């Protein structure tokens, strides 16, 4: 799997390295690495100490190349691959100083993005044999929206809208400010007729208003299972239905069995634990 925005990767990695190197991308600023002879070479490996799903190899590669363009990298796993404890992910050969300067930045990206992919994979397993799709949200770490959205796909999830520009999501405060669901939807359709329109509702009455406005998707916010079943019957295929709010793993199968089209969860990108990875020099 390949992330198709190379400039984002370069920018992400440059900012991370600059943070480590005193505000400028000068590897000479790594005073600890300077203890090593400048011409010394080394061979190292990145391994995982726990199971998970790999994501972030392009960011890790860029971190090493940014510190030494001549470094040699051999990936043993690809983004989206299942990892088992002690698996070797990457072998690195090159200047010893550069490898150690890039080490933490490379691992940070790998651990963080693999954590997102791993959490997504765990959730997606509950929906693997049903039509209901698992969606992410905009609850991502600032600066890393595209990276985490990519990690969700690596883990088997599906991206919701990327940001505030590619789809309408009309929520409670938008409805109040516009005057009604109908008015908000009419304005959206006039402004950008090619953009999908989704409305978040908190009751069956609001659901009926959204259906009457011919929206594409209705988000059922914090509905219990009985209310969701009523909503599915009410919609009767006239729009797609998404469930959001209080989405925990134990509830996913129940939600899928109601017949909704989507389940979205912010946990995929914000309730994650870094994968335990290590870089070891031979």
CA angle, 151 then 154 then 159, to 5°: 65
CA angle, 185 then 191 then 194, to 5°: 85
Q: Would strands 88-95 and 72-75 be described as parallel, antiparallel, or unpaired?
A: antiparallel
CB 46 within 8 A of CB 105: no
Handedness of CA 47, 50, 54, 59 (dihedral sign): negative
Determine how many CB atoms are found less than 10 A away from the CB of residue 145.
15
Six-digit token pair at 17? 């390295």
Catalytic residue IDs: 104, 139, 171, 200, 221
Q: Would strands 262-264 and 277-281 be described as parallel, antiparallel, or unpaired?
A: unpaired
Distance CA 36, CA 114 (A): 31
């Amino acid at each position: 799997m390949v992330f198709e925005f190379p400039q984002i990767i370069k920018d992400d990695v440059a900012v991370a390295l600059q943070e480590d190197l005193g505000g400028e991308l000068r590897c000479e600023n790594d005073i600890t690495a300077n203890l090593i002879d400048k011409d010394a070479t080394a061979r190292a490996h990145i391994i995982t100490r726990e199971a998970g799903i790999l994501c972030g190899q392009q960011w890790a590669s860029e971190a090493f190349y940014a510190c030494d363009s001549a470094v040699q990298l051999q990936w043993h796993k690809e983004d989206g691959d299942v990892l088992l404890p002690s698996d070797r992910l990457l072998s690195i050969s090159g200047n010893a100083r550069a490898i150690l300067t890039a080490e933490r930045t490379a691992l940070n990206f790998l651990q963080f993005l693999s954590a997102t992919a791993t959490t997504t994979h765990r959730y997606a397993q509950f929906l693997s044999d049903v039509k209901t799709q698992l969606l992410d949200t905009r609850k991502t770490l600032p600066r890393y929206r595209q990276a985490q959205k990519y990690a969700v796909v690596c883990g088997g999830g599906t991206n919701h809208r990327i940001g505030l520009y590619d789809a309408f999501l009309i929520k409670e405060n938008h409805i109040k400010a516009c005057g009604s669901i109908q008015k908000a939807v009419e304005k959206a359709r006039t402004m950008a007729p090619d953009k999908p329109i989704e409305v978040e509702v908190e009751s069956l009455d609001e659901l009926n208003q959204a259906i009457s406005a011919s929206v594409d998707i209705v988000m059922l916010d914090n509905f219990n299972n009985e209310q969701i079943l009523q909503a599915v019957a009410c919609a009767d295929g006239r729009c797609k239905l998404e469930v959001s709010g209080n989405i925990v793993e134990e509830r996913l199968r129940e939600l899928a069995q109601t017949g909704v089209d989507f389940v979205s969860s912010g946990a995929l990108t914000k309730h994650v634990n870094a994968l335990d990875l290590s870089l070891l020099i031979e």
